[in-house]
Copies of this chain bind each other. A is one copy, B any other.
Amino acid sequence: MNPLKYVDSQMPQLLSDLQKLIRQPSISAKNEGIEECAKLVKQLLTKTGIKSEILRLKGAAPVVYGEIISKSNPSKTLLFYNHYDVQPVEPFNLWDDHPFSGKIKGNKIFGRGSSDDKGELITRIQAVSAYVKTTGDVPCNIKFLIEGEEETGSAHIENYLKKYRRKFSCDGVIWEFGYVDSKNRPVVGLGMKGLLFVELSIIESIRDAHSSLAVLIKNPAWRLINALNTLRDTNGRILIKDWYKDVKPLSKDELRIISKEPFDEQSFKKEFGVSSFIGNIHGINAKKALVGSGTCNIAGLVSGYTEEGAKTVLPSKALAKIDFRLVPNMDPKKQVLRLKRHLNSKGFSDIDVKVYHGEAAARTNPSDPFVTIVKQAADESYGKSILNISNAGTGPMASFVSVLNTPCVSIGSTYMFSRIHSPNEFARIDLLKKTTKCMCLVMDKMGNLT
């Protein structure tokens, strides 16, 4: 039987395996079921004929490693990067079924992780299975790196990559997720933005005071507001000296790809109930911003009394959580120094800067042959696909690119309204099937790459 036909026949098996994975909770934020889920994943790999083992680093969740060497073409290696951990399920009461039910209703399978990322993982495993079962071989070497800390920021992935560099060496990485848009077009993604998450805080007195004393005692909220106000202009442009110094403008190639990318501006605005975007940008400029602009976003702001009603208090502390999205060539460490220098130069050396984490951006070259074969596989399995230079979000892609020196491409089964990270997360069964076939085609084309 042809592997693609085999995928059709094996969908009940895929769904049953996915249900098993969903029903094993694995919440990294709460360290719930992590070891158990890693073992279950190892069993699934082994069952499929993939040699597998559990890798460990002190203080880190285990990584499940899998490998199957091609008899026909052992010169090319494809690595699947996925994660077996999931987001917390709260708010619990908004789920229609139990969050770990794996319940199937029509074309949907429900449960935390059904799309992100257990659904994606199962398509990769099932694609390997289709080849093994129908041909007794795989078209190229296949490796799996399945981590357990993605949802808490992949704190140890770079160390895993460095420690097991040889094990993970490959000619291309299929990223852990991929989106399918509202018109059923899969997005072939070539990059991720970086992220710098910091907390700015200031304490002006050792305790909260009655607000009548505001004639004398300094208010930290005012101080923080004055400092924050210097960080960006009203169009979102960051005013920190040299913030954009290392950034290269988008290339002609990138601009060409961006201009081709569809963007349903009206649906997007409707979804969030907004009538205009920052700086009144629209059309091609909105698309360019999603792909290529950095941000300085206030993710959290708090001081004093924040409950209902009035309280006349003079707070002792004020705090802002800020995430800066970074674009390629921006080094998180350098950007932190620039932020600190800015605060000092504006007279705000009393503001404390705590760095939560920094991660560089990454982009794979659109003309890399690996990109070409993934794009072809996507076009053939789903119909016409969309090329995307960079996702607006962040993932540890830069670590893969720099440590493994390999192209990374994201493609997958996650429908854009699949409610990942939210109650009633689901995966579309038709997209799980298409993605499994797409993975078969990627393996096949990888084997034929010269």
- Where the two chains meet, the residues of A that have a C-beta atom closer than 8 Å to any C-beta of B are 29-30, 87-88, 90, 151-153, 193, 195, 197, 204-219, 221-222, 225-226, 228-229, 232, 234, 236, 268, 272-274, 277-278, 281, 286, 289-290, 293, 295-315, 318-321, 323, 325, 356-357, 391-394, 419-423
Residues in B with CB closer than 8 Å to A286 are: 216
Residues in B with CB closer than 8 Å to A298 are: 219, 221-222, 225, 303-304, 315
Contact B301 A313 (CB under 8 A): no
Considering the complex, give the chain B residue whose CB is closest to the CB of A232: B222
- Could you tell me the distance between the alpha carbons of A357 and B309 in the complex, rounded to whole angstroms? 10
A300-B305, A303-B301 known; A310 vs B295 contact (CB < 8 Å): no
Contact A88 B206 (CB under 8 A): no
Q: Which of B212, B225, B315 contacts A325 (CB 8 A)?
A: B212
Residues in B with CB closer than 8 Å to A216 are: 268, 277-278, 281, 286, 289-290
Contact B313 A274 (CB under 8 A): no
Contact B302 A314 (CB under 8 A): no
The 5 tightest CB contacts between A and B, nearest first, are A206-B273, A29-B309, A212-B392, A212-B393, A214-B297
Residues in B with CB closer than 8 Å to A321 are: 304-306, 310-311
Contact B300 A303 (CB under 8 A): yes
Considering the complex, give the chain B residue whose CB is closest to the CB of A303: B301
Residues in B with CB closer than 8 Å to A214 are: 236, 295-297, 323, 325
Contact A205 B274 (CB under 8 A): yes
Expressed in whole angstroms, the minimum distance between the Cβ of A285 and any Cβ of chain B is 10
Contact A357 B310 (CB under 8 A): yes
Residues in B with CB closer than 8 Å to A29 are: 307-311
- Could you tell me the distance between the alpha carbons of A294 and B289 in the complex, rounded to whole angstroms? 45
Expressed in whole angstroms, the minimum distance between the Cβ of A113 and any Cβ of chain B is 14
- Could you tell me the distance between the alpha carbons of A295 and B90 in the complex, rounded to whole angstroms? 34
A193-B212, A272-B205, A323-B211 known; A299 vs B315 contact (CB < 8 Å): yes
Q: By CB atoms of chain B within 10 A, which of A278, A309, A315 has the most? A: A309
Expressed in whole angstroms, the minimum distance between the Cβ of A322 and any Cβ of chain B is 10
- Could you tell me the distance between the alpha carbons of A419 and B210 in the complex, rounded to whole angstroms? 8
Q: Which of B193, B272, B310, B392 contacts A299 (CB 8 A)?
A: B310
Q: By CB atoms of chain B within 10 A, which of A195, A274, A305 has the most? A: A305
Contact B305 A217 (CB under 8 A): no
A215-B290, A298-B221, A304-B299 known; A197 vs B88 contact (CB < 8 Å): no
A214-B236, A295-B215, A419-B207 known; A301 vs B30 contact (CB < 8 Å): no
A209-B272, A289-B215, A391-B212 known; A306 vs B315 contact (CB < 8 Å): no
Residues in B with CB closer than 8 Å to A303 are: 298, 300-302
Considering the complex, give the chain B residue whose CB is closest to the CB of A309: B29
Q: Which of B289, B299, B307 contacts A211 (CB 8 A)?
A: B299
Q: By CB atoms of chain B within 10 A, which of A274, A295, A321 has the most? A: A321
Residues in B with CB closer than 8 Å to A420 are: 210
Contact A299 B311 (CB under 8 A): yes
Question: With contacts A207-B422, A297-B314, A306-B321 known, what are 7 further pairs, Cβ within 8 A?
Answer: A87-B311, A88-B311, A208-B422, A209-B422, A210-B420, A212-B325, A222-B298
Residues in B with CB closer than 8 Å to A207 are: 272-273, 419, 422-423
Considering the complex, give the chain B residue whose CB is closest to the CB of A422: B208
- Could you tell me the distance between the alpha carbons of A380 and B323 in the complex, rounded to whole angstroms? 61
Contact A274 B311 (CB under 8 A): no
Considering the complex, give the chain B residue whose CB is closest to the CB of A274: B205
- Could you tell me the distance between the alpha carbons of A212 and B309 in the complex, rounded to whole angstroms? 32
- Could you tell me the distance between the alpha carbons of A289 and B218 in the complex, rounded to whole angstroms? 13
